[in-house]
Amino acid sequence: MIPTLLTLLPAASADDSSWITFDIPSLLQNFWSATFDGLTFGSIYALVALGYTLVYGVLNLINFAHSEVFIMGCYGVFFTLSFLGFGPSAPNLSVGSIIVNLLLALVVAICASALTAFLLERLAYKPLRKRNAPRLVFLITAIGASFTIQYTIFLVRGPNPEPALTMFRSRPIFEVFGTFIYDQQLIIVIAAVIMMVITERFISKSRTGRGIRAVAQDPDTATLMGVNKEKIIITTFVIGGILAGAAALFYVMKIPSGVQYNGGFILGIKAFAAAVLGGIGNVRGALLGGLLLGLIGNYGQILLGNSQWTDVVAFVVLVLVLLLRPEGILGTSLGRSKA
């Protein structure tokens, strides 16, 4: 059954007058747990948002098919861990064995997402660039590619989520303001931030990164100066795919039953909202926007009394940012970044 946007909204019966609440006491009571969990989800949003940011910075293209790049990484994680014997219950393995298995799943997820991003650019967008197609054509193609990948998975794997995979039994590490911080949360946040910092340094300091910024600022002049524009474009898509693959591992780690043919759609919208919130085309803005959106979403679902409002909050934030500050919080483009 094909989902519609109506299924994204919380259901309310005709005689239910409390489907929207403003439960401030509950928010205050759960503030710190919502904060730490929001930072965890926000880190995942940030990694995916960086793919949107890089492609937009170089091509001025909103790559709506990036959500499917992400979900292909999720399937890579699922098939790898299923092959290794993981299931709904946490495996009885040593810490070293779990780390090795997760690293293998990470490599497969990165390869799956990066390959998807590469093929997407070569098969969908490169022919349009050769024809100097208008930007609207690129946008329509991105949406079409998204649905093509999504429903190809639907035909192969069906409409139901894949069986849950639990990677390890999460344990509390320390306590902050009466709230336990779990090892799973620390792994996701710290690993995501490290990857974002490495990416930002790569774009700022490496020769390839300077090429990316040059093409983002003025592609014609960059070409005259000896920059291989096609190579830069491919590299940009692949970097976005690598980060999406890493996000896929963290996503399955956080939501064991989250692998589904359309599972990347809502998360992709949130990641896009995060990129716009921080300043699309800005690497640091993707990190800031992702973390803020994770926090806002968690606070919103508690305040409004329904977990489904997390998704609605992402759309509301996106609309408000586009209305009030379309350039985002940081606002600078990739090409003009002084990072």
pLDDT for 3: 47
pLDDT for 328: 83
Rounded Cα distance between 315 and 84, Å, is 38
Q: Over 50: is that where the pLDDT of 122 sits?
A: yes
Q: What is the DSSP string of 291-306?
A: HHHHHHHHHHHHHHT-
Rg (CA), the chain: 20
Cα angle: 325, vertex 309, 11; to 5 degrees: 135
Specify the range with the lowest mean pLDDT, choosing from 16-30, 98-112, 113-127.
Answer: 16-30
Q: Which two tokens stand for residue 43?
A: 């880190």
Percent of the chain at pLDDT exceeding 70: 91
Structure confidence by residue, pLDDT tens digits, 23-80: 788 878 888 888 999 999 999 999 999 999 999 888 888 899 999 999 999 999 999 9
Identify residue 307 by its one-letter amino acid code: S
Please state the pTM of the whole predicted model: 0.88
Rounded Cα distance between 243 and 32, Å, is 28
Percent of the chain at pLDDT exceeding 90: 44
The H or E element that residue 176 is part of is: strand 172-176
Structure confidence by residue, pLDDT tens digits, 148-177: 999 999 999 999 999 998 998 888 888 888
Closest of 283, 250, 304 to residue 40, by C-alpha? 250
Rounded Cα distance between 202 and 261, Å, is 32
Residues contacting 195, CB < 8 A, separation 6+:
47, 243, 246
**Average pLDDT in the 134-158 region?**
92
The label of the residue with tokens 């600022």 reads 217
pLDDT for 94: 87
pLDDT for 152: 94
Helices (H), 206-308: 207-217, 219-224, 229-254, 263-278, 283-304
Rounded Cα distance between 74 and 250, Å, is 9
pLDDT for 336: 52
